[in-house]
Chains A and B, each alone.
Chain A
Amino acid sequence: MNHVLQRTLRSTLGSAILLSAVAAVAMLYTSGGGASRSSLVSEMLANFILVLGIQVFIGNTGVLSFGHMAFAQIASYATAVVAIPLALKAKSLPDIPFGLESVHFGPIGATIVAVIVTVTIGALLGVAVCRANGLAPTMITLALLFVVEQLVKNWKELTRGAGGLSGIPIIKGNGWLYLGAFIALVVAAFFQEMRIGRFSIATREDELAAPALGIRIFTSRYAAWVVSIALTALGGSLRAQSLGSVNPKQFTLDAGILILVMLVVGGMRTVSGAVLGTVLITAGNELFRQLGDPQQLDIERFPDLFLGVALLLAMLLRPEGLLASRDLMGWLRRKMYRPAVAASIAPTVGTRPLTATDVEVHFGGFVALDGAGLTVRPGEVVGLIGPNGAGKTTLFNVITGLVDETAGSVRLGDVDLSTENPVGVARAGLARTFQNLRLFPTLSVRENVALTSLVAARHRAHRVRPDVDLLLAEAGLTDWADREAGTLDYGNQRRLELIRAAALAPEFLLLDEPTSGMSDTESLAMVDSVRAVAALIGAGVLVIDHDLGFITRISDHIVVLNEGRVLAEGSPEQVRANPAVAEAYLGSQA
């Protein structure tokens, strides 16, 4: 409970500070006088909510969406059809369907209705968007944008077509917009403090590592989507009520790109970045608008030039945005962080063995594994070796659910893991590392470990969880805890990946070439690190490596694979003495 309070306090405090800064700038600007200045501030505040709306989805999940403007549009029109006074509505929309001719709401009611309607539609469509991978979600949202645009332009009974609707009662002053902006700030900031929000950030950082640590991509992405649609709807609704009219031109792809530029120029990963970007782009836009010729109707051309230049410079010089990872909320988080002094607690030692039996994998006609199997007993360190192409990594991927076996089974005790996906395998108690290092590079070292610890708290509560700071100390990373993980040197990154896996409180650690690219002395040190971490969490270890010296030092038991089958197994001495192994590695003597 204490944590929830702390997080709420932090988000609210941070938001209040940011908004006060924006308000101060706005106040200074409007004090120069003129109604147009005040309306520019309204425009900025409405955009501000929209930018925070897309920040929650795009910024946290890293999935580009062009479709958010469609939802702003739905919200704006929903607001219009329920807020326009009945007499006026009868005149401008005589054939309005769904019995809307007699529905009327005040400003607050209309906003709530708009948000509910939009979130309902968005939640349905979001299932499709969040299930897809790669470019598909972006393309789906792009198609949605055009669908909504066409519907609005053509469903004249409801929307009056391209001309738009006017006569929405205007809310006077910017008070409501400030309130809306504050709500949006707190929601966006709090989302990043929540477990589900942090999980969605993990999926942004690495789409393969997150599931391998038990984070389901769909769930976290979907949560971000729904929250983001809600904020977008709020922004759309308030904007409609501050302008008094809606028309399809306000929600084109171009309008969406303006919002997107605001987000990426400031820095999409953080709330502070979204705030800075909105203020800078609004100011720049206005400045360039005044350069244009007011006699001409086409006053948009100079702002267009500004947008192009701003976006191009940002991408060439600071693709992560001006603030990148710097964030007021993050700063507050670090300042408020107090590590709990953890007494080292006796770990739960596993009781179940990990067994893979008669695993066969065929890639087309190629047989990668031909009846290989192995057993790792609780607390034991098993090394898996074999020449290139022997099937080590394939067996590893079968066990962790990345590759489906053609035949055979993988079991943890009496639990069958054969059909589980990586998320299920991780939650069942197998935590892996990757051959080519898959950290969450822009997150802090501590957050890398803390994220997995969160998964453990949720799905592996029956095990004693290792303390995050204790693990950091074990790996010698305490002093680097607040650094971005991607900035660590190679050896430390390897150690971080090891303790990140350990934080899952797994029964088995699966390490894929933990010493690749390391020097001999570093490899030796890694033997101690792996053993110490495994002992700390009471886990068994299955490790692949090319380095025979490392494997024989670290393993209690060695399995040698060759051409998809187990060639030999036994203690390191037995394996070393086995002539068949020497032959597979060095070629026949005869």
Chain B
Amino acid sequence: MTKLIQTLVDGLGVGSTYALLALGISLIFGVMHLVNFAHGELITVGAYTAYFFVLHGGSWWWMPVAIIAAAVLASVTMEFVAFRWVRNASPFTLLLTSFAIERLSHALWQIFVSPKQRAFPKPFWVFNQFKLGGVSIEVMDIVTIGVTVATLCLTAVVFKRTMFGISVRAAAEDFDAARLMGTRANRVISGAFAFAGLLAGVAACLILMRTPSADPSMGSDWLMKAVIAAVIGGLGSFTGAVVGGIALGLLETLTRAYLPEVATGWDKFSTAVVFIIIAIFFVVRPDGIFKVSHAERV
């Protein structure tokens, strides 16, 4: 029982980070039908920002602000430099454009900083533990889950209550109609990228507090998981992104924790099993859990 709760807490921790990233990917997909494979680079940007500030005596009390600001800036820049110019291109072109940015980002960090990993100190309290009914919980688990819940609430308020959020949702529904109603395409899209950057920045803070290091390709692994989570949830669906992220986090930790008991010798294949389950999921439910229907007139 204790093990199960422990595993669930771990899964929620990883899963909520996936959820924040997946939400950004889903948001961008909603407004411009782009699966942004460069989204993970925002984590890298955040990591190098943190590294830079630590070198110059930064403290973890205010660094999250800098990390988030850097991610927002990078996200908006990305749109301005590349995606704006291919906005009406095919999804294929959009996808490859994001790959190009991912590649460029890797190369630039390698050339201008270093291909090697750069580590910096973490906040001292991260791995402090306390007992809660026989389960030992890390402070970071609580911080992660708390911050994620707060961010998701903020997201909900922004997209339900503010003019900006409503325009973005309208654009996701039907961009042409939204434009005719007076929504400004450039502003909505920049705004969506900024918000996705904010979400990625928060995710980056949570990741960096646990593993405070920066390397050029660190964003890619997180990105893959986030894309998978977003697609599992149903691209374009906000609820889906969150559910997909949490589900993927739980799936990973549960297979890792329980697979050896199912069949000894199988534990080393736990990651493979996760991906097999994912592949089967896409075969059975290609549109994700929360299917977003795009009516197409014929």
Contact = CB atoms under 8 A, between A and B. Distances in A.
A and B held together in a complex: yes
Interface of A: 62, 64, 128, 131-136, 139-140, 142-144, 146-147, 150-151, 154-155, 208, 253, 257, 260, 264, 296, 298, 301-302, 304-305, 307-309, 311-312, 315-316, 319, 393, 397, 402, 434-436, 438, 512
Nearest to A128: B283
B269 A154 contact: yes
B96 A146 contact: no
A393 B111 CA distance: 58
B111 A315 contact: no
Contacts of B96: 260, 264, 311, 315
Contacts of B164: none
Interface in B244-298: 268-269, 271-272, 275-276, 278-279, 282-283, 286-287, 296-298
Interface stretch (B51-59, B81-89, B168-176, B190-198): B81-89
Contacts of B104: 305, 308-309, 312
Contact of B89 (A257, A304, A319): A319
Contacts of B105: 308
A301 B228 contact: no
A147 B298 contact: no
Contacts of B269: 150-151, 154-155
Contacts of B93: 315, 319
B110 A315 contact: no
Contacts of B297: 435-436
Given A135-B235, A316-B86, A436-B297, A154 B224 contact: no
B212 interface: no
A529 B96 CA distance: 43
B124 interface: no
Contacts of B227: 139
B282 A308 contact: no
B95 interface: yes
Nearest to A257: B99
Contact of B287 (A134, A147, A264, A296): A134
Contact residues of A: prevailing secondary structure: helix
Given A302-B111, A315-B82, A315-B97, 9 more contacts: A139-B228, A143-B275, A147-B275, A302-B107, A304-B103, A311-B103, A315-B89, A319-B89, A319-B90
B122 to A, nearest CB: 26
Interface residues of B, number: 45
A136 B287 contact: yes
Given A154-B268, A302-B111, A312 B97 contact: yes
A147 B102 CA distance: 23
Given A312-B104, A434-B298, A134 B286 contact: yes
Contacts of B97: 311-312, 315-316
8 contacts: A132-B282, A136-B283, A146-B275, A150-B272, A302-B107, A308-B102, A319-B93, A512-B298
Contacts of B228: 139, 142-143
A308 B109 CA distance: 13
B289 to A, nearest CB: 13
Nearest to B111: A301
A139 B101 CA distance: 20
Nearest to A141: B279
B107 A298 contact: no
Contact of A319 (B82, B86, B220, B271): B86
Contact of B100 (A140, A143, A315, A397): A315
Nearest to B272: A150
Contacts of B283: 128, 131-132, 136, 140
3 pairs of A and B residues whose beta carbons are closest in the complex? A136-B286, A308-B104, A308-B103
Nearest to A147: B275
A154 B272 contact: yes
A340 B95 CA distance: 44
A470 to B, nearest CB: 29
- Identify which of A298, A301, A434 gathers the most chain B CB atoms within 10 Å of its CB: A301
- Identify which of A146, A315, A434 gathers the most chain B CB atoms within 10 Å of its CB: A315
Contacts of B86: 315-316, 319
B35 interface: yes
Contacts of A133: 286
A151 B270 CA distance: 10
B134 to A, nearest CB: 34
Given A136-B287, A140-B279, A150 B106 contact: no
B111 A308 contact: no
